[in-house]
Amino acid sequence: DTSLAEVNSFSPSMPISPSSMINQYKFEDEPELRDLFITVDDPESHITAIETFITYRVVTKTSRGEFDSSEYEVRRRYQDFLWLKSKLEEAHPTLIIPPLPEKFIMKGMVERFSDEFIETRRKALHKFLNRIADHPTLTFNEDFKIFLTAQAWELSSHKKQGPGLLSRMGQTVRAVTSSVRGGVKNRPEVFTEMNHYMETFSQKINVLDKIAHRIYKEEREYFNEMKEYGPIYTLWSASEEDIADSLKGVASCIDKCCKATEKRMAGLSENLLPILHEYVLYSEILMGVLKRRDQIQGELDSKVDALANKKTEKDMFSEEIGKLEDKVECANNALKADWDRWKQNMQCDMRSAFTNVAENNLHYYEE
């Protein structure tokens, strides 16, 4: 859905390289003066009798008045990030909560607890917290503040106060079931369009994600073959005096190709694969948000129908309907504002990712 009209506005005499193109784009969503900075770094392995897990250091610097200090340093494990995400979903059911990396990595990519896996996860967790920090509503959530500031024992104590995981799962299942079962009669057209958009987006982003992983896998196989192939020419040159220089030249050429391919693979794994997969997860989150909005609407519709069929208790029903109408309006406004913000971020991220890939490919073929 991204228009490429901007590309045609470049002067025809101007050379269009990915670098010059990316400099021409004006990013309208530049953050204003920030007052909350978060870094996730320094992963540490912990081995106990029961489990092995990684903790990450979370450093927060802020000038906000509601914080008691200007700097905090805590250690958090993946389960703590999961808890924060579930609390944000619970408190803001119709806002788009950023995705977390999945608990289990895809087979064949990287091993769990390898350096590559830990670094990929660290970057994703860093992005998750900073997306929340940049969000106009989520950034002021009380559980988010506790996550950033509480010591391990304080966080553990706070976590025990909330509803249990099973109860939360039950609520989610009920919410999804009721919205799917009945359908929504009075859903505004704008949300029907969002549903259609997300169905198409989900399908396309999943296809892109699969293709990108396949390209990366093929590139890795090609790279491994070249690494074995190059030394053969060096060995061959030792037994062929007449063409030794030519054979060494071929070996050197293959070595250069190897290095260029390795750089290209690094570009794919750093700039493209994480972005595509993040938006695969975003597509699932958005479908869930739209279902939760429909559930609130469905609740209102059922009460309006009940009022029409009942002649007594009209005052009580009218009061309930008034509250539900406010709830639906709040949900609609929250989702609409978040939707525009999400789309703008998504288009900016996609544009940047694909431009990076194009630029990497040009450098690769030049080398």
Find, among 141, 137, 143, the residue nearest to 96 by Cα. 137
- The CATH class of the 183-366 domain is mainly alpha
- Per-residue DSSP letters for 40-85? EEEEEEEE-SS-EEEEEEEEEEE--TTSSSSEEEEEEEHHHHHHHH
Cβ atoms of 106 and 210 closer than 8 Å: no
**CA end-to-end span of the chain, whole Å?**
34
pLDDT average, residue stretch 296-311: 78
Highest mean pLDDT among 7-21, 44-58, 198-212, 266-280: 198-212
Cβ atoms of 321 and 307 closer than 8 Å: yes
The pLDDT of residue 1: 43
d(CA 284, CA 270) in angstroms, rounded, equals 22
What are the extents of the domains in the chain? 34-156, 183-366
The pLDDT of residue 185: 75
Tell me the CATH number for domain 34-156.
3.30.1520.10
Does residue 10 register a pLDDT over 50?
no
Q: 216-268: per-residue pLDDT in tens?
A: 999 999 999 999 999 999 999 999 999 999 999 999 999 999 999 999 999 99
Does residue 2 register a pLDDT over 60?
no
**Helix spans in the chain (H):** 5-8, 18-24, 78-91, 115-134, 142-149, 152-159, 165-182, 189-238, 244-267, 273-309, 314-366
The pLDDT of residue 167: 46
d(CA 153, CA 158) in angstroms, rounded, equals 9
The pLDDT of residue 114: 78
The pLDDT of residue 364: 94
d(CA 257, CA 109) in angstroms, rounded, equals 23
The predicted model scores a pTM of: 0.78
d(CA 216, CA 108) in angstroms, rounded, equals 11
- Specify the 3-state DSSP secondary structure of 114: coil
Q: 107-128: per-residue pLDDT in tens?
A: 444 456 678 888 889 999 999 9
Q: 177-218: per-residue pLDDT in tens?
A: 444 444 677 788 999 999 999 999 999 999 999 999 999 999
Quickly count: other Cβ atoms within 10 Å of residue 281's Cβ.
Answer: 17
Does residue 20 register a pLDDT over 60?
no
- Specify the 3-state DSSP secondary structure of 230: helix
The pLDDT of residue 313: 62
pLDDT average, residue stretch 150-164: 81
Q: Which residue has the tokens 């061959």?
A: 236
Between 357 and 25, residue with greater pLDDT: 357
pLDDT average, residue stretch 9-36: 50
The pLDDT of residue 3: 44
Q: 319-345: per-residue pLDDT in tens?
A: 778 888 888 899 999 999 999 999 999
Q: Which residue has the tokens 């990684």?
A: 54
Does residue 72 register a pLDDT over 70?
yes
pLDDT average, residue stretch 280-290: 95
Cβ atoms of 360 and 318 closer than 8 Å: no
The pLDDT of residue 311: 56
**Structure tokens given for 163:** 């509803």
Q: Matching CATH topology for 34-156 and 183-366?
A: no
